[in-house]
Structure 1
């Protein structure tokens, strides 16, 4: 369940000052806290959590070395920051306490290393080029262990993303979100709903790479039920939409991860005032 499912949308066009917590911890709720990974061993532990979710639970097929090591890893891990949620009530070192993770890649870092991860599926270069005065940040590899799929955990992931974005003066968050399975037709209602109601247009338009693109316009607008479609959306996608996100044109099938992907684009200026007030305009709601 996405924490954003517990809130209601409000007026958009919120803004926020760029003050953030300074003690390294980006948020706390009860025994849970969120922060950026500090060591290689913590990143390795986050990769183990990703393996448990993506491979053992969702049947992803990773390269042979990753399957042997039981770690989801790739070249991007070396240049990304890794947002963690830790349960301090679990005995052991921080590596034993990681229950959720997100991978964060800032535009300045991406440009020094050949671009964003999403470039392999979407034409994000053109999107970024149209907004030279805005800093982009890519979100990816979001996962939560089954026992921690609760409001508190996802709230802390969002608190961490929000605080990190403020710290680095980010103007747009974007990244791929996934439907389970590699048959886009199985998600025709939801994909058509996104196409007709949430597609990014104008300066925010972005398309899947032509050789990979699957048409999301499978059903006419009048045949797409909003209630049915919203029920069919993954909680993460639903949460992004409630924040004010837009969806790129075209889905992409990722056979390795056994998913059908869509690209989410979330300008900070589009985030609902209600959510900014909830998480804290200075990222301080859960930081103490």
Structure 2
């Protein structure tokens, strides 16, 4: 489950930012643009605050159904929260502690951690084992629970989420990233144009091929190719998925309906080696573009 952002151009030209010199206090900051900064959560209190932000977006805004105890606590929580790293975007102009400054979050799970902690979140929807077996020498990382408060769904915020994920991937020598991308609603046919375009043009194949579990697999090939207009299909694409595609991502075979979050999910597969040189240059081969 991911949240899509309002701006369809989230990964294209953004005005250059003025980088600031880090101090010992903020040496772990991964990026900064203006008064927004990105870093990993440092404390359990910050993770709790990130879960509260997720609750506001997923439950209050999108009407997701979560466990009764989580509803009472007003937190979006699951078992993976205990083992994932939590990437945060903070608005440093908000008065108070860091917990009150969190306006966006991304959840990061490395393969070496997932192996000892029950696997990846996406494995409940997609059969990842054949992919991981074929690419046994590569290090994978899962991206999930992408979430930004409505008033912060701007290019700057999304730039920082990507900056943080890219810096994290480089630090841990990640070879490929993947995660669920979401279309709103539980009727795949409502997204026939976009899903058909993805299936017909961007399907992950051969060594990168991956499929939805058979019992959850919903076909994406809903329209004949001659009826699929590429421009219209891209215009109908959720912005976050479109952003992944710009980077060079591929799509797994089959969509999955997530009734709890009221979304139709596809699997995004993004080998680091296939990321467009344009974006590596933009963020920096060393993730230094927006580094603090």
Give the equivalent residue in structure 2 for 1:51.
Answer: 55
Q: Is the 8 A contact 1:3 1:155 kept in 2?
A: no
Instruction: Give the Å deviation of 1:31.
Output: 0.3
Q: Does 1:124 align with 2:128?
A: yes
Q: Is the 8 A contact 2:11 2:159 kept in 1?
A: no
Give the equivalent residue in structure 2 for 1:284.
Answer: 288
Length-normalised TM-score, structure 1? 0.94
Give the equivalent residue in structure 1 for 2:218.
Answer: 214
Give the equivalent residue in structure 1 for 2:98.
Answer: 94
Q: Does 1:202 align with 2:245?
A: no
Unaligned stretches of 5+ in structure 2? Answer: 1-6, 15-25
Q: Is the 8 A contact 1:2 1:151 kept in 2?
A: no
Give the equivalent residue in structure 2 for 1:80.
Answer: 84
Q: Does 1:141 align with 2:141?
A: no
Instruction: Give the Å deviation of 1:126.
Output: 1.2
Instruction: Give the Å deviation of 1:260.
Output: 0.3
**Counterpart secondary structure, 1:157:** helix
Query: Once superposed, which parts of structure 1, at least 4 consecutive aligned residues long, lie more than 3 Å away?
Result: 2-5
1:108 to 98, 108, 112: 112
Instruction: Give the Å deviation of 1:3.
Output: 5.4
Q: Distance in 1 between matches of 2:243 and 2:128?
A: 22
Q: Is the 8 A contact 1:243 1:275 kept in 2?
A: yes
Which residues of 2 match residues 60-71 of structure 1 at below 5 A? Answer: 60-71=64-75
Structure 1 residues 2 and 81, CA gap change in structure 2 (3 angstroms):
farther
Q: Distance in 2 between matches of 1:184 and 1:236?
A: 18
Q: Is the 8 A contact 1:4 1:242 kept in 2?
A: no
2:164 to 160, 165, 186: 160
The superposition leaves residues 126-153 of structure 1 with CA deviations (integer Å, 9 ceiling, x where unpaired) of 1111111110000000011000000100
Q: Does 1:6 align with 2:7?
A: no
Q: Is the 8 A contact 1:215 1:250 kept in 2?
A: yes
Q: Is the 8 A contact 2:37 2:89 kept in 1?
A: yes
Q: Is the 8 A contact 1:180 1:258 kept in 2?
A: yes
Q: Distance in 2 between matches of 1:3 and 1:47?
A: 27
Give the equivalent residue in structure 2 for 1:15.
Answer: none
Q: Distance in 2 between matches of 1:143 and 1:198?
A: 25
Q: Is the 8 A contact 2:176 2:270 kept in 1?
A: yes
Q: Distance in 2 between matches of 1:125 and 1:46?
A: 30
Q: Does 1:235 align with 2:243?
A: no
Q: Distance in 2 between matches of 1:144 and 1:66?
A: 19
Q: Is the 8 A contact 1:5 1:235 kept in 2?
A: no
The one of the two structures with greater contact order (alpha-carbon pairs below 8 A, sep at least 6) is: 1
Length-normalised TM-score, structure 2? 0.92
Instruction: Give the Å deviation of 1:85.
Output: 0.2
Instruction: Give the Å deviation of 1:125.
Output: 1.3
Q: Distance in 1 between matches of 2:104 and 2:242?
A: 19
